[in-house]
C-alpha cells in the first residue's frame, strides 16, 4: 500500500528558475550561454521559461559553464518531473472519485481487502492499489470492455453491480496469487470425486479445509470469498494463469446449497475448459445457458443421481429413515436428497429439516 501521509511539497520550481538566477549572477546573456554550451538559443530560452527539460547531456554541458555539478541539474529536473506527475495524478484521483463511490468500500474494508478510511480521496487511491490499476479507465478496460482477453476476466457491462462483482472477483485473484499448487491434472480431479463425496456425506466441521487440500493436490485452487451486498453470487469458476480457481461465497449458509454449488463449479472445470467463466447466480453477457445446464446436471449426478432418485421414489412411503438409508447407500448427505425433494415439492419442508445444517466459512 502507498504511504498516503508521506510529505510532498506544494511547489517545486523548474530548474530553469535556478539557471536564470545563475546567469544573472554570472552576468551572462542567454545568447552567450547558448554559444558556450553549444546548444541552440531557442533551446536555452525554452529551459529558462520552464517549457523544456534539462536532459542529462545538457546537464553535463551546463556543468562546464556554471561550475554546478551535472547531478544537481539532473536531480532538480527529476524532482520537478515527479512534482508535475503527482499533480496530474491528483487530478486523476479526483476524476475517479465518482467511480470509487460506487464500490461497497465499508464492506471491503470490514473483510480486510482495503484499509479503513472515510476520505474519498484515500478510498480512490486504495481501490487503484487493490485492482493494481492507475486510472478508473483501466478498470473499465478490464471489467467492462474486457480488453484483456484472458480467462480471468469477464465483461460485467450488463450486470447490476459491476463494481462489487469486480471487487469480489479481484479478491479471488489475490487469494490465488498467494497459493501455489501443482499443474492441473484433469484425470486426478475425476478420481477424487468419490473422496469429495465422502467429505460431503460426513460433513465434518473441517470439511472446507479437506476439500481445499484434495483439490489443491489436483492443481485446483478452492477459496471462500465472502459475498458483498447486492451481489447474489453463489460461486465462480475461472482459470487464472492456467490454474482452475473455484470461489465460494456460502451465500445461503446451508450445507445442501453449498455442496451443490461446489460440484456445479467442479463440473465446469471438467466439462468446459479454460475459456469459460462461471458466475453462479449472476446474469452476465458471457454466461452460456447450455453450459450452466450441463454443470447443473453434473452436480445432480454427483450429489444424488437421477437413477438413485428414481429408485428411491419407487417406494410407497418416503420418510427420514428411508432418506438416511439412500444417503448411506449412495455416499451423499441426506440434506442433498431432502433439498432436492423439497425443491420438487415431493416432500413437505417439515421433513428432515434437521439435516439441513448451517455452515460458517468465515474462518477459512
Taken in order of first residue, the domains within the chain and their CATH numbers are: 15-95 (1.10.260.40), 162-355 (no CATH)
Report the distance separating Cα 271 and Cα 291, nearest Å: 8
Produce one character per residue of 342-363: b if its CB has 16 or more CB atoms within 10 Å, e if not: beeeebeeebbeebbeebebee
- Residue 314 sits at φ, ψ, to 5 deg, of -70, -15
For residue 1, what pLDDT band results from cuts at 50, 70 and 90? very low
**What rounded mean pLDDT belongs to the chain?**
92
DSSP designation for 142: I
pLDDT in tens, 7-56: 567 789 999 999 999 999 999 999 999 999 999 999 999 999 999 999 99
pTM assigned to the model: 0.83
For residue 87, what pLDDT band results from cuts at 50, 70 and 90? confident
- Residue 280 pairs in a beta bridge with 235
Q: Which three cell numbers stand for residue 126?
A: 486504495
CA angle, residues 58, 63, 66, in degrees to nearest 5: 115
pLDDT in tens, 263-282: 999 999 999 989 899 998 88
SS3 content of the chain, % helix, strand, coil (to 5): 55, 5, 40
Most confidently predicted of 63-67, 250-254, 278-282: 63-67
> What is the average per-residue pLDDT within 300-313?
94
Count CB-CB contacts under 10 A for residue 188: 15
Amino acid at each position: 500500500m502507498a504511504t498516503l501521509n508521506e510529505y510532498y511539497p506544494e511547489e517545486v520550481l523548474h530548474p530553469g528558475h535556478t539557471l536564470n538566477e545563475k546567469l544573472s549572477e554570472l552576468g551572462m546573456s542567454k545568447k552567450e550561454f547558448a554559444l558556450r554550451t553549444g546548444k541552440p538559443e531557442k533551446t536555452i530560452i525554452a529551459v529558462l521559461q520552464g517549457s523544456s527539460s534539462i536532459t542529462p547531456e545538457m546537464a553535463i554541458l551546463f556543468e562546464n559553464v556554471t561550475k554546478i555539478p551535472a547531478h544537481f541539474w539532473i536531480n532538480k529536473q527529476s524532482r520537478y518531473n515527479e512534482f508535475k506527475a503527482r499533480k496530474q495524478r491528483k487530478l486523476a484521483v479526483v476524476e475517479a472519485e465518482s467511480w470509487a463511490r460506487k464500490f461497497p468500500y465499508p464492506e471491503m474494508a470490514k473483510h480486510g481487502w482495503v484499509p479503513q478510511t472515510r476520505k474519498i480521496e484515500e478510498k480512490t487511491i486504495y481501490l487503484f492499489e487493490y485492482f493494481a490499476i492507475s486510472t478508473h479507465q483501466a478498470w473499465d478496460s478490464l471489467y467492462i470492455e474486457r480488453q484483456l482477453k484472458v480467462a480471468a476476466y469477464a465483461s460485467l457491462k450488463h450486470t447490476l453491480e459491476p463494481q462489487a462483482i469486480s471487487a469480489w472477483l479481484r479478491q479471488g485473484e489475490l487469494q490465488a496469487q498467494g497459493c501455489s499448487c501443482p499443474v492441473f491434472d484433469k484425470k486426478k480431479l475425476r478420481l477424487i470425486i468419490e473422496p469429495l463425496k465422502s467429505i460431503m456425506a460426513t460433513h465434518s466441521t473441517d470439511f472446507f479445509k479437506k476439500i481445499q487440500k484434495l483439490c489443491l493436490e489436483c492443481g485446483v485452487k478452492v477459496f471462500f470469498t465472502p459475498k458483498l451486498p447486492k451481489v447474489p453470487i453463489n460461486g465462480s469458476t475461472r482459470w487464472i494463469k492456467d490454474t482452475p480457481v473455484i470461489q465460494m461465497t456460502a451465500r445461503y449458509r446451508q450445507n445442501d446449497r453449498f455442496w451443490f454449488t461446489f460440484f456445479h463449479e467442479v463440473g465446469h472445470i471438467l466439462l468446459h475448459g479454460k475459456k469459460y467463466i462461471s458466475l453462479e447466480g449472476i446474469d452476465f453477457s458471457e454466461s452460456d445457458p447450455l453450459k450452466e445446464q450441463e454443470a447443473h446436471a453434473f452436480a445432480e449426478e454427483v450429489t444424488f443421481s437421477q437413477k438413485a432418485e428414481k429408485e428411491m421414489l419407487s417406494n410407497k412411503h418416503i420418510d427420514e429413515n428411508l432418506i438416511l438409508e439412500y444417503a448411506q447407500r449412495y455416499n451423499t448427505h441426506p440434506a442433498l436428497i431432502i433439498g432436492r425433494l423439497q425443491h420438487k415439492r415431493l416432500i413437505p419442508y417439515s421433513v428432515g429439516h434437521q439435516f439441513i445444517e448451517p455452515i460458517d466459512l468465515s474462518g477459512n
